[in-house]
Amino acid sequence: MATSQNASTDALFVGYEDQENLGLRSIIAALQAHGFRTRLEAFTPRDSSGILTAAQKYHPHLIGFSIIFQYTFDEFTKLMERLREADIKAHFTVGGHFPSLCPREVLEAVPHIDSVVRCEGEYTTLELLQNLHQPNNWTNIKGLAFRRDSQVIINPSRPLVVDLDSLHLPVRSNPRSMPRNIRVASMLASRGCLYNCSFCSIRQFYGLAPGPLRRTRSPQAVAAEMKELYKHNHVQFFIFQDDDFTSGSSKQRQWIEEFLFALNKEDLSGHITWKIACRVDDIEEDILIKSRDRGLIAVYLGVESGNARGLQTLNKHVTLEQNLSAIEILKRIDLTFEMGFMLLDPDSTIGTVRENIEFLRHVTADGSCCVNFCKMLPYSGTPIEERLRKEGRLMGSLSQPNYNFLDPRLDWYEFFLSETFHFRNFDILGIAERLRTARIDCCLARALKHDPQVDEYERVLRELTVRANTIALDALDYGLSFIKSRDIDRIPADWPILDYFSNQKRQMEAEIQLDLDRVLATYNPEMLRVYADEFSRRFEEAYFDVS
């Protein structure tokens, strides 16, 4: 996406754009307001040729890389190496949660990186670009870390932007279209989070700098931006990227009331839809009903664990009963939801994993939500990472940290999950992602009145979800019983039994995939074509790689 039509540019920015990268786009807006020429190129690990071409064509003075989590660090490092090999001499700076929390480690690990922009990047990047060719001034730039000779210098943190309305609106490109030609845009109404979950780097990221833990834009400004995108870009689906949109406090409840009023005032209710993320203790039935009636169609709910010990380890400050109550409310008011859920955490036992499986079986038995889960990852700078380091359990590398379990049989169970569920849970062609996307499509079809048969569409999707959930949960149960009933030395010898079971599971899921194809052929053929195109692309890549 070009943000300037000039033949040269001052700064080129690179980051994931699966959803719009509002952090980079806000930085670009700040730079453009001061006359700098900028470009944004989407990062895809499988093909960096477009980024290389842009760097060679536009000769940027600075290239900024958005690296949120360290698990993508190796991919960005390879890109930087390729750019340097092509004789790209631009100043390389990186930003995001991971480099902000570990600037010294990042600069020492990758000699291609010249600086780190820590925390909020608008003004730090601006000052860096203004002083790019005057390195003696860099020590005066708050929020910057950089390498000088063989030393890493970390400047004092830059205070957070208290008034978010004072920032320029993020630079937008043409919004992407979903099937049904529904255009979608990302939104941000706030920055920061009031909570301190042990696994999450958000609190640490914003806590590095002086300022409030959470700040909000005015509700009127958010609604006005949505109106502008609806009116001029025909956006009808807004995905809020706020870490905790509802933030259960009286102040935030008042914010939401004013936001809903602003949606009505801008004549958006009935014309647009939106999705949010929140905690279970933020769920209030009356305010969610009002939100639903003004376009809210889906909630990403941070459930995280289905047992008391897991919730304590993750420092959620909620109870199992609150988890169940929040889910019940969403079902009762007919709001589609997805769950963030960590089947495994550092304190997992066979018993707590069993509790998690039973929790998932209970709340998803009606097909209201597709079972999905992950292992808790020890993100850099988080309390849980520090705890694991002190316990001597932190393993892996800077970019790929991991940990072992107190019961070594669970290490084998994790391996089983990786082998059996990775494609299902995390690939866009996996059944979990396909069912989730189809459910959102169904919600959009209902809210925007795109399909008179939407009730039947929803019914068959629920049936497929029930089948997929049953297969997944039975596999989780079987794998857990397998490792529980064997001594640690016996597990690898009997592994072919699990392999056979996993293959059976995959065959049953393949049948659901075919049934889902038939459903989409009836209710949204365009979505089916998108999946077919992705499959064809992968087939061609594999074919040419082999040849």
pLDDT per residue as tens, the chain (547 positions): 444 444 689 999 999 998 899 999 999 999 999 999 999 999 998 888 999 999 999 999 999 999 999 999 999 999 999 999 999 999 999 999 999 999 999 999 999 999 999 999 999 999 999 999 999 999 999 999 999 988 999 999 999 999 999 999 999 988 899 989 999 999 999 999 999 999 999 989 998 999 999 999 999 999 999 999 999 999 999 999 998 898 667 888 999 999 999 999 999 999 999 999 999 999 999 999 999 999 999 999 999 999 999 999 999 999 999 999 999 999 999 999 999 999 999 999 999 999 999 999 999 999 999 999 999 999 999 999 999 999 999 999 999 999 999 999 999 999 999 999 999 999 999 999 999 999 999 999 999 988 889 999 999 999 999 999 999 999 999 999 999 999 999 999 999 999 999 999 999 999 999 999 999 999 999 999 999 998 888 877 777 654 3
CA 357 to CA 310: how far, in whole Å? 13
The pLDDT value given to residue 7: 63
The pLDDT value given to residue 546: 42
- 485 CB-side CA count, 13 A: 8
**Which residue has 């941000």 as its token pair?**
188
| Residue 215: both structure tokens together | 């700040």
What b-and-e string marks burial along 173-196, b requiring 16 or more CB atoms within 10 Å of the CB? eebeebbbebbbbbbbbbbbbebe
The pLDDT value given to residue 545: 57
Domains and CATH numbers, the chain: 11-154 (3.40.50.280), 179-534 (3.80.30.20)
The crossing angle, in degrees rounded to 10, of helices 525-546 and 495-523 is: 130
DSSP characters for 179-222? GGGEEEEEE--EEE-S---TT-SHHHHHHTSSS-SEEE--HHHH
Distance of CA 12 to the CA centre of its chain: 23
Geometric angle at alpha carbon 40, from 34 and 43, rounded to 5°:
150
The reported pTM is 0.94
The pLDDT value given to residue 45: 87
Q: Are strands 214-216 and 144-148 parallel, antiparallel or unpaired?
A: unpaired
Q: Of 336, 320, 364, which is closest to residue 472 (Cα–Cα)?
A: 364
Q: Cα-Cα-Cα-Cα dihedral of 456, 290, 326, 474, to 10°?
A: 20
Residues pairing with 190 in the sheet: 216
Identity of residue 425:
N
Helix (H, G, I), strand (E, B) or coil at 273: strand
The pLDDT value given to residue 535: 86
For 396, list phi and psi in degrees, rounded to 5: 85, -155
The pLDDT value given to residue 247: 64
- 25 CB-side CA count, 13 A: 18
